Amino acid sequence: MTSKKLTMLSGIACCIPAGLLLTTEKAAAQQQDKPLNILYIMSDDHAYQMISAYDQRHIQTPNIDRIGNEGVKFTNSFVANSISGPSRACLFTGKHSHKNGFTDNSQRFDGEQQTFPKLLQKQGYETAVVGKWHLSSDPTGFDYWNILIGQGEYYQPTFIENGVKGVRDGYATEVTTDIALDWLDTQRNPEKPFCLILHHKAPHRSWMPATSDLGMYDDVTFELPANFYDSYDNRIAAAQQEMSIINDMDLVYDLKMADKENEIRTGSKELEQAGRSMYQNHTRMTPDEKAAWDAYYDPIIADFKAKKLSGKALAEWKYQRYMRDYASVIHSLDENIGRVLDYLEANNLLDNTLIVYTSDQGFYMGEHGWFDKRFMYEESFRTPLLMRYPGSQTKEIPQLVQNIDYAPTFLELAGVEIPADIQGESLLPLLKDETPADWRNSLYYHFYEYPAEHAVKRHYGVRNDRYKLIHFYNDIDVWELYDLETDPSEMNNLYNQPDYAIIQQKMHQELDRLQDYYEVEER
């Protein structure tokens, strides 16, 4: 029971009959002794820059912010491998990619291995996962599962409910929330603590808003990042990627310029064809949704064709369209998270539930001229993390944390002994205002998915509170070193600079130590 509630209780005790007061206190004590429920909400590709709890420049996200305002905000939260499937595998196992066996999205997650939902089940928790799964194999360790196929669709998405496939009418973010709320309200056993994994498709590419949100940011001109026109000097791997807004963001597939005359051509015939299929044929949309979509995008397409943009004008037009679509998708996400919070409050579940909001990784919103993720550079390596822990005070947590830490956190919270092979650390002490003397002072990162979409080279690295060392390997051999205090945008590679020789040596030593500690073989 919170101190605020205890104060209120003592203040009105004189007005309550003694017998009733004892009953109330007994019930409160019993409630406090119950294991906490766990609600883990994760979106896909939600940049921390597009959450107002972290960045006020672009949009407001009041419902997501509420989790941090009533709980804690982690200001140094990172992932172990910045890509969707591997990030989820790290979450469920508490292990780096090389240990859980799911290093890239071409693989299939081994559902036979140890995961935290299985361990929670043994402890008496009722477990459920709803929404995006993206691990190829069927979920295991869940009493209930209702998941999207692959990346899922924004309109009339297909779900697999405990093995049975079916199309659900509506917009993905709303439908996913509906399913989760129905499970909470009508299907779970209220006598058991629950762990609900609520995973949204949004705001994954190609950023298709709900029709009710079309155009809601059209009067906003988003600030162009200072390094939007990055030339990638002294950063070979950064120059070789294929995730440039200018060169690689497709006008038809990504930006919905599927003109009915088929006059707009793009650099990728495959993406253009996929985009025309979605937007010209309105795949999966209802007649009303088709009408709303055309009413919004047809004038934009006509205006775009009339302007005949090129060069910087085209690049910056693409950036504004990207940001407006992305922000509109986030609006629905934030509203639906508000629905879940309102349900918990209305059903007296707020004060016995740990609520987590995060993303499977960060995302580039034009920084370095990019969209997407993958790199160990800050925008994709860093991820939002907000937690509402009953009894905690509003505050920020600055310690270095990583998504391998979620599994041990949930296990310790549930009273489960953390298995020795889990590589993450429980965040519970930090949530309780304790700072372990031996808390980590550096993080290890490893990206494996190359050759593949977006052409980001394989790399690994180490980051501490100030410096970052990265090694790009496989078909290249390039090292990069950054001083995040003087160069937070990571524009100046300091590797082999004489003034940083000692720092470079120490970072190499720390990288070797972490690779030995985590038993990394591919290096």
Q: Under a CB-based contact definition with an 8 Å cutoff, are residues 83 and 448 in contact?
A: no
Q: Is the pLDDT of residue 286 over 90?
A: yes
In a domain, 245, yes or no: yes
CA distances from 304 to 111, 157, 316, 424, 453 (A): 48, 30, 13, 49, 28
85/181 same-domain check = yes
Question: In terms of domains, do 251 and 310 share one?
Answer: yes
Q: Is residue 92 part of a domain?
A: yes
pLDDT on residue 394: 66
In which domain, by residue range, is 500 found?
Answer: 446-517
| CATH code of the domain containing 59 | 3.40.720.10
Nearest CA to 202 out of 43, 334, 309, 325 is that of 43
**Per-residue pLDDT at 29 exceeds 60:** no
For residues 98 and 182, membership in a common domain is answered with: yes
Same domain flag for 493 and 356: no
Nearest-CA neighbor of 387 among 435, 349, 354, 362?
354
269 and 335 inside one domain: no
pLDDT at 66: 97
Number of domains composing the chain: 3
Q: What percent of the chain has pLDDT over 90?
A: 92
* Predicted confidence (pLDDT) per residue in 501-519, tens digit: 999 999 999 999 999 999 9
Do 185 and 199 lie in one domain? The reply is yes
pLDDT tier, 33 (very low <50, low <70, confident <90, very high otherwise): low
Half-sphere exposure of 153 (CA within 13 A, CB side): 16
The pLDDT tens digits for 136-169 are 999 999 999 999 999 999 999 999 999 999 999 9
Shared domain check, 134 and 59: yes
Q: Note the pLDDT of residue 9.
A: 32
Question: In this predicted structure, which of 29-43, 345-359, 465-479 has the lowest mean pLDDT?
Answer: 29-43
Query: Could you tell me the CATH number of the domain that includes residue 509?
Result: 3.30.1120
* Position 268 in a domain: yes
Measured CA to CA, the distance from residue 57 to residue 509 in angstroms comes to 38
Q: Are residues 503 and 433 in the same domain?
A: no
DSSP state of 305: H
Task: Tell me which of 408, 438, 468 is where a domain ends.
Answer: 438
Q: What is the pLDDT of residue 392?
A: 77
What is this structure's pTM? 0.93
* Chain mean pLDDT for the chain: 93
Distance from C-alpha of 372 to C-alpha of 90, rounded to nearest angstrom:
19
Element (H, E) at 43: strand 37-43
Do 271 and 385 have their domain in common? Answer: no
Asked whether residue 11 falls in the same domain as residue 83, the answer is: yes
Q: Quick one: 279 exposed, middle or buried, by C-beta within 10 A (0-12, 13-18, 19+)?
A: buried
> Which of these three, 324, 358, 387, is where a domain ends?
324
φ and ψ of 455, to 5 deg = 55, 35
Name the token pair of 80. Answer: 């172990």
Place of tokens 């309102």: 342
Tell which of 438, 461, 477 closes a domain: 438
311 lies in some domain: yes
Residues 315, 424 share a domain: no
